[in-house]
Amino acid sequence: MSIRKRQPMASPHGTAARTERKISAMDKFITRSPKAFFAKKTVALDPKALSKKQLGIFAAKIAEAGGVVVEMAQAASADLVVGAEGHPASVTWLQDCLAQKKLLSLPRKRPSDDVADVEPMAKKAKAATTTACTWAKAGSILWCANVATPSTTTKRRVKIAAFDMDSTLITTKSGKTFAVNDDDWKVWHESVPTKLKSLVEDDGFQLVVFSNQSGLSKGKVTEKGLKGKIEAIADMLALPLWFFLLPENDINRKPRTGAWDVMVSEFNLDVDMTNSFYCGDAAGRPKATGKAKKDFSAGDYKFALNLGVPFWTPEQLFLNSKLSLHCDPKLRDLGFDPRSLFQDVQAVDATCRPSDATEMIVLVGSPAAGKSTFCRTYFGEYMRINQDTLKTPAKCKQAALESLRDGKSVVIDNTNRDVKSRKSWIEMATAEGVSVRCFYLDLPKPLVFHLNAFRALMKQLHPDAAEHKSDVPDMVIHGFFKNLVPPSVDEGFASVVHVPFCAVPSPEDKLLTSFLL
């Protein structure tokens, strides 16, 4: 914060007229200065130098900022003393006091910038008068704003203070995990409204709420009821707010960042990502003393990581908690981390190459593990045998046999999860006098679930692209791993190659290496 500089006075004691001007300057300063100026400071106020009105305003602002007002008798231990030794208070005097105590680094500015910023972005925020919520839809997103947004072709530079809603800004009045009706809510903590107001009026943030609302798509809540709830929250806070409600399991659902992209597009924003942040309760925290349950997910933390913005838990932001449980990222369980996918890729074995002789390749791998992509990438010239395409085992066998007899190699692109399912293919290859190799896509289950989510999103984003398939049910993936018998050369394979995750460069790499679940 910068403060308009005034010429220092020759003496702290002046005429009555000068004293009156100083008092007037302090009135202006008290009214316009951000509360954050006094955050967490112990301040002694001299009643000889300040009027009763000034003392009252000062005390209220300091208290709102989380500071503490003490008597002049305790001035020696205070962070800041205002009006010491009976000096009339003035902006210049307070600035000097702060500088001497080294409580605030006052940056040097160009002369043109050396104008008071005691009327900061807060003034602009206050000018944006809130109105009734205006609702709109963008794809699957239901969103609203309670403030008019200026129409401009120039991108607006903004700082975003983004929040989850449930268990972050509000909680249930009933004490139950899920609201029993649309009126079953209250603020998460009494400090929430004050903190949000400070973020807008003192720090110049735009408040945005991103809330997954699967209950809407599942029919557990109604659109009318949810809108009424959001409007009641907006009315209670009386601050400029944007709400983005995300009912579907698509690119917009957190921790995926589609809703953020829609916000940037709808409001034509240039977001200051370094100074923006996201706050939510789903941080992957473990069960601990004073915390009966572990966090149900790390979805909010993952959302912030995907965006590349700082993350805060509600306890950190609203309660100023210093506990490691709420502040230490090392305690947060992310589960599978896709950010390392392209860093840890191992070189595919040189044996993942077509043979000059006619042969059979048998793939082993979970649904959604990338078998078809592997097949296209390394064995694109082979006849691909896939039951999803040919529909029955008998048709698969017939197609494979005809291809081998025509001298064309085949790749069996099925899950082939156990010895029994692989045996008939080995017997066919042996009977036709061709070699049979096995490639085992040896991927951990969490990675498969990530790839399955990616597969579903790609199908949604590119519905007409034949290479993109719909996702498979979770139970199918669980079933594969439950019944999996890893392949062995003892079954009759000429070789068994364990294939790690094979990253194929794609325009969708950013999405693939984002948290999707």
- Asked, for residue 4, whether it belongs to a domain, the answer is no
Q: Are residues 261 and 380 in the same domain?
A: no
Provide the number of structural domains found in the chain.
3
Per-residue pLDDT, 472: 87
Query: Tell me: the pLDDT tens digits for 168-227?
Result: 999 999 988 889 998 999 999 999 999 999 999 999 999 999 999 999 999 999 999 999
Per-residue pLDDT, 505: 62
Q: What is the torsional sign of CA 365, 366, 370, 373?
A: positive
Per-residue pLDDT, 268: 92
Per-residue pLDDT, 473: 92
153: its two tokens: 């072709």
Last residue of a domain, one of 113, 133, 166: 113
Q: Are residues 381 and 323 in the same domain?
A: no
User: Whole-model pTM above 0.85?
Assistant: no
Query: Tell me: the pLDDT tens digits for 456-501?
Result: 998 898 887 666 777 789 999 999 999 999 999 999 999 999 988 8
- Asked, for residue 344, whether it belongs to a domain, the answer is no
Regions of the chain short of the pLDDT cut 70: 1-40, 48-57, 63-66, 70-77, 79, 82-129, 150-152, 343-351, 465-467, 503-505, 507
305, 283 contact by CB (below 8 A): no
Tally of CA atoms within 13 A in the half-sphere of 503 that contains its CB: 20
- Asked, for residue 318, whether it belongs to a domain, the answer is yes
- Asked, for residue 352, whether it belongs to a domain, the answer is no
Burial code of 79-118, b = ≥16 C-beta within 10 A, e = fewer? bbbbbbeebbbbbbbbbebbeeeeeeeeeeeeeeeeebbb
Per-residue pLDDT, 394: 94
Q: Are residues 206 and 296 in the same domain?
A: yes
- Asked, for residue 346, whether it belongs to a domain, the answer is no
Q: Are strands 383-385 and 359-364 parallel, antiparallel or unpaired?
A: unpaired
Instruction: Show Cβ contacts of residue 345 under 8 Å, excluding neighbours closer than 6 positions.
Output: 500, 501, 502, 503
Q: Give the domain range for residue 258.
A: 121-334
